C-alpha cells in the first residue's frame, strides 16, 4: 500500500507501516524526528498523489474539549477552532480510498460527527491512559486483544478505587510538567497503537 501519515513528525506510524513492507511517508510542518520518508510542508500540497490510505493526526490545540472553555473568553481562539475544524473536514474529504482521522476527545464529535472508535494506549500494552478517537472511512475498527492490556495501579480517589497509569497522578491529571514541548510529548502516537494500525490496516 501507499500510505500517507499526515501531521506526524515522530515517524512512528510511518515506520510501523514501512516495517511491514508498505510505502509510507509522513508529512508535517515540522521536520521528522526519525530518519525516513518525510514531506516537510503543508499536507494539502500532496493529498492528490495516489495514496491508498491516509492516517491523519490534525493538531488538537484548538479542538480538544479540555481547552474549549477558553473560546468564550477569546474570540480569536474561537476563530482558530473554526479553522481547525475546516482542516479536519478537508482531510476527511480527501480523495483517498481509506482514511483514519485521530484526535483526543474533541469538538469534532459535536461539530462534524461522533468518532467510530475510542481506544486507550493501555489496551495495546502501553503503561499510559489517553482516550484516542478515530473517525474512519472504509476501514474496520481496530481489534483489541485483551491479553495485551497493561494493568495500571489501583489508588483511592474521592473515596473510590480507581485505576491509574504511569502518565497520571493519583487524581487522574497528566504528570507532564509545563514545558515548551509538552504538547509534542502528549501528541506523539504510542508505539503499541502505531503497531496495531500497521498490522491491522496494512
Domains defined for the chain, CATH in brackets: 2-146+190-201 (3.40.50.150)
pLDDT band at 127 (very low <50, low <70, confident <90, very high): very high
Q: In the block, which residue shows the cell 483526543? A: 104
Lookup: cell for 176: 507532564
Lookup: cell for 202: 496494512
- Residue pLDDT, tens place only, 165-192: 999 999 888 775 565 554 445 568 999 9
* Neighbouring residues of 13: CB distance < 8 A, sequence distance ≥ 6: 5, 24, 26, 55, 189, 194, 197, 198
Say yes or no to pLDDT of 142 above 90. Answer: yes
| Minimum mean pLDDT range among 26-35, 39-48, 56-65 | 56-65
> pTM for this structure?
0.91
| pLDDT for 182 | 47
Amino acid at each position: 500500500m501507499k500510505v500517507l501519515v499526515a501531521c506526524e513528525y515522530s515517524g512512528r506510524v510511518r515506520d510501523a507501516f514501512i516495517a511491514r513492507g508498505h510505502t509510507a511517508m509522513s508529512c508535517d510542518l515540522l521536520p521528522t524526528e526519525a530518519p525516513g520518508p518525510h514531506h516537510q510542508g503543508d499536507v494539502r500540497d500532496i493529498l492528490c498523489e495516489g495514496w491508498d490510505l491516509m492516517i491523519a493526526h490534525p493538531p488538537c490545540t484548538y479542538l480538544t474539549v479540555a481547552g474549549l472553555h477558553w473560546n468564550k473568553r477569546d474570540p480569536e481562539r474561537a476563530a482558530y477552532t473554526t479553522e481547525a475544524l475546516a482542516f479536519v473536514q478537508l482531510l476527511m474529504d480527501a480523495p483517498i480510498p481509506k482514511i483514519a482521522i485521530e484526535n483526543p476527545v474533541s469538538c469534532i464529535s459535536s461539530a462534524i460527527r461522533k468518532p467510530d472508535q475510542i481506544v486507550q494506549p493501555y489496551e495495546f500494552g502501553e503503561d499510559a491512559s489517553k482516550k484516542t478517537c478515530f473517525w474512519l472511512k472504509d476501514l474496520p475498527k481496530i481489534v483489541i486483544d485483551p491479553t495485551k492490556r497493561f494493568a495500571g495501579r489501583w489508588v483511592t480517589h474521592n473515596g473510590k478505587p480507581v485505576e491509574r497509569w504511569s502518565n497520571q497522578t493519583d487524581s487522574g491529571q497528566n504528570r507532564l510538567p509545563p514545558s515548551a514541548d509538552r504538547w509534542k510529548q502528549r501528541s506523539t502516537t504510542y508505539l503499541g497503537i502505531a503497531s496495531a494500525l500497521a498490522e491491522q490496516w496494512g
